[in-house]
C-alpha cells in the first residue's frame, strides 16, 4: 500500500475511484496505467459483469455470434495484472464531495483522491408498458441475453422507436427470421439531427428488408395478460406481437448525485472532464462536456465520445493537458451495410446527396454557409475519410478566424 505524509501524519492514499462499468471507465483505467499512474484504482460496476462493449448488444451479440466473453473489453485476468480493483454489482448511491467519499447501494463507502463519474445513461421507459413480461429495453448484457430469447423464426416483434438501437434490433431480428414492425411517433425518425430525407431513406431500407414501418404513429396502450399481446396505436389496426422492444432514447444516470452540488441532468465538465468539485471528474454519457467548436456544453451519447472523454480524464489526472475533442462520430451496421456519421449535421442550412441512395451507395453532406459541417455516408468509406477531413477543415478555419478577431 502506498502512503503519503500529510501534516506529519501518515495517510493512506485513496487513489482513483471510477464509478460506472462502461467504456469511459475502462478507457480511463487503462490510460492511467499506460501513463504510469501507480496509485490505487477502484472501478465500481453497477452490473455483475466486468466492463464490456455495448455496440454488439444490438448486433453480433444479439445475433448469438459473439459470447459474453467476446464483448468484454479485457480478459478477467487483466484487472489483477494491472492492479485495477473491480467492485461488481454495486451502484453509487451518494456523493459526499466534502469528505471525498462515495456511498454505495450496500451502505459501504469509498474514499477517493480523484473520483471519475462515468455512470452512463439508462433507457427511457414507456409507462403504459410497465409490468409486462415480454417488454424489452436494450442497454445491458442482461437485457441482450433476455431479448435474444425472443428472436425466433416467425416471432412477431414490435419495435417502438425508430432510432439506431431500434433499427439495429430490427435488422438483427430479421436475420433471425422474426416478423418485425417498427412503430415511430414522428413522421420520419431522427429528423432533429439528420433531416427528414435521411430518416425516410432509412425507413425505406427497412421496408425493403421486409419490416413493416408505421410512421407518425403513437403508442396508446397495451393489452394482454401478463405479456403484451397487442399494442394499441394512434393510427391503424392494433399491432399483435409476441415481444416488444422499446428504444426511445436514454437519460443520464445521475440521480445519485442529488444534493452533491453537481448537475443531475448531465454533469457539466470542461474539455478534460473536470467538474465544479475538486478532484471530481465526469466522462461518457453522464457528462455534458464543453464543446470548443460551439462554445457550449453538450452531452454526446456516442461510443467515440465516451472513449475519448475517459481517456482525457485519465490524462488530466496524470498531469497532462488533453487534446480538444475530435468531431462527433458514430456508426451503425444494418443488413450488412455500414452507415457512418461525422460532424454537426444539426447546424446545417443545406443538405446535398452524392451518389445513388436507391443502391445503398451514397453520401449526404450537411453544409452551413456553404461549408461542410457534417456527413452521413452509406457504403462509401473513402468518402467518409475525405469528408471528415473537409469538416475538420471547416471548424479549424472558424476557430482560427475567431482567434484573429
Partner 1 sequence: MSYIPTIDRSACSAHGDCVDIAPEVFELGDTAEVIGSGPDKKILKAAKACPASAIEVVDSETGEVVYP
Task: Find the shortest distance in angstroms from Cβ 184 to partner 1.
Answer: 25
Nearer to partner 1 by C-beta: 119 or 309? 309
Please count the other Cβ atoms lying within 10 Å of the Cβ belonging to residue 49: 17
Please state, in angstroms and as integers, the Cα–Cα distance from residue 264 to each residue in 117, 253, 289, following that order.
12, 8, 14
Task: Find the shortest distance in angstroms from Cβ 5 to partner 1.
Answer: 33
Nearer to partner 1 by C-beta: 152 or 338? 338
Task: Find the shortest distance in angstroms from Cβ 331 to partner 1.
Answer: 4
Q: Which three cell numbers stand for residue 206?
A: 427497412
Task: Find the shortest distance in angstroms from Cβ 56 to partner 1.
Answer: 11
Residue 20 in contact with residue 122, Cβ under 8 Å? no
- The continuous run of DSSP H or E covering 288 comes out as strand 287-291
Residue 141 in contact with residue 68, Cβ under 8 Å? yes
Task: Find the shortest distance in angstroms from Cβ 326 to partner 1.
Answer: 6
Nearer to partner 1 by C-beta: 184 or 333? 333
Nearer to partner 1 by C-beta: 31 or 181? 31
Q: Which three cell numbers stand for residue 207?
A: 421496408
Task: Find the shortest distance in angstroms from Cβ 74 to partner 1.
Answer: 10
Task: Find the shortest distance in angstroms from Cβ 66 to partner 1.
Answer: 11
Task: Find the shortest distance in angstroms from Cβ 338 to partner 1.
Answer: 8
- Angle at CA of residue 60, ends 123 and 213, nearest 5°: 60
Query: Which ranges of 35-66 would DSSP assign to H, the alpha helix?
Result: none
Residue 226 in contact with residue 130, Cβ under 8 Å? no
Residue 72 in contact with residue 81, Cβ under 8 Å? no
Nearer to partner 1 by C-beta: 187 or 326? 326
User: φ and ψ at 134, to 5 degrees?
Assistant: -110, 25
- The DSSP annotation for 66-92 comes to S-HHHHBSS-THHHHHTTEEEEES--E
Binding residues for partner 1, rule: CB under 8 A, are 27, 31, 34, 303-304, 307-308, 311, 326, 329, 331, 338, 340, 381-382, 384-385, 388, 392
Q: Which three cell numbers stand for residue 188?
A: 420520419
Given the DSSP bridges, would you call strands 41-45 and 84-88 parallel, antiparallel or unpaired? parallel
Radius of gyration of the chain (CA): 23
Q: Which DSSP state fits 271? A: T
Nearer to partner 1 by C-beta: 331 or 335? 331
Spatial separation of the C-alpha atoms in residues 98 and 278, rounded to whole Å: 9
Nearer to partner 1 by C-beta: 20 or 328? 328
Nearer to partner 1 by C-beta: 40 or 380? 380
Nearer to partner 1 by C-beta: 110 or 312? 312
Task: Find the shortest distance in angstroms from Cβ 90 to partner 1.
Answer: 27
Spatial separation of the C-alpha atoms in residues 282 and 288, rounded to whole Å: 8
Amino acid at each position: 500500500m502506498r502512503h503519503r505524509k500529510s501534516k506529519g501524519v501518515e495517510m493512506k492514499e485513496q487513489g482513483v475511484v471510477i464509478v460506472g462499468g462502461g467504456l469511459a471507465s475502462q478507457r480511463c483505467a487503462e490510460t492511467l496505467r499506460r501513463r504510469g499512474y501507480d496509485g490505487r484504482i477502484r472501478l465500481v460496476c453497477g452490473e455483475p459483469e466486468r466492463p464490456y462493449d455495448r455496440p454488439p448488444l444490438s448486433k453480433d451479440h444479439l445475433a448469438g455470434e459473439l459470447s459474453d466473453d467476446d464483448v468484454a473489453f479485457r480478459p478477467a485476468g487483466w484487472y489483477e495484472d494491472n492492479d485495477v480493483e473491480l467492485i461488481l454489482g454495486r451502484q453509487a448511491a451518494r456523493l459526499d464531495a466534502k469528505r471525498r467519499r462515495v456511498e454505495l447501494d450496500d451502505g459501504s463507502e469509498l474514499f477517493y483522491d480523484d473520483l471519475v463519474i462515468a455512470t452512463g445513461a439508462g433507457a427511457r421507459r414507456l409507462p403504459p408498458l410497465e409490468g409486462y413480461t415480454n417488454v424489452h429495453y436494450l442497454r445491458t448484457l442482461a437485457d441482450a441475453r433476455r431479448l435474444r430469447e425472443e428472436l425466433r423464426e416467425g416471432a412477431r416483434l414490435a419495435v417502438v422507436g425508430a432510432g439506431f438501437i431500434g433499427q439495429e434490433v430490427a435488422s438483427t431480428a430479421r436475420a433471425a427470421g422474426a416478423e418485425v414492425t417498427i412503430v415511430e411517433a414522428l413522421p420520419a425518425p431522427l429528423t432533429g439531427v439528420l433531416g427528414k430525407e435521411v430518416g425516410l431513406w432509412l425507413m425505406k431500407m427497412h421496408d425493403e428488408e421486409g419490416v413493416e414501418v408505421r410512421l407518425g404513429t403513437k403508442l396508446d396502450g397495451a393489452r394482454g395478460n401478463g405479456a403484451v399481446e397487442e399494442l394499441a396505436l394512434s393510427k391503424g389496426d392494433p399491432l399483435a406481437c409476441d415481444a416488444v422492444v422499446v428504444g426511445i432514447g436514454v437519460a443520464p444516470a445521475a440521480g445519485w448525485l442529488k444534493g452533491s452540488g453537481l448537475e443531475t441532468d448531465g454533469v457539466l465538465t470542461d474539455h478534460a472532464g473536470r467538474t465544479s468539485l475538486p478532484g471530481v471528474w465526469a466522462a461518457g454519457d453522464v457528462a455534458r462536456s464543453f464543446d470548443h467548436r460551439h462554445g457550449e456544453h453538450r452531452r454526446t451519447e456516442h461510443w467515440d465520445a465516451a472513449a475519448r472523454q475517459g481517456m482525457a480524464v485519465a490524462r488530466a489526472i496524470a498531469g497532462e493537458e488533453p487534446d480538444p475533442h475530435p468531431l462527433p462520430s458514430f456508426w451503425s451496421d444494418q443488413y450488412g451495410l455500414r452507415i457512418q456519421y461525422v460532424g454537426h449535421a444539426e447546424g446545417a442550412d443545406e443538405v446535398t446527396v452524392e451518389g445513388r441512395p436507391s443502391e445503398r451507395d451514397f453520401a449526404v453532406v450537411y453544409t452551413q454557409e456553404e461549408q461542410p459541417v457534417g456527413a452521413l455516408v452509406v457504403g462509401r468509406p473513402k468518402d467518409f475519410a475525405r469528408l471528415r477531413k473537409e469538416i475538420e477543415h471547416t471548424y479549424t478555419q472558424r476557430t482560427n478566424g475567431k482567434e484573429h478577431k
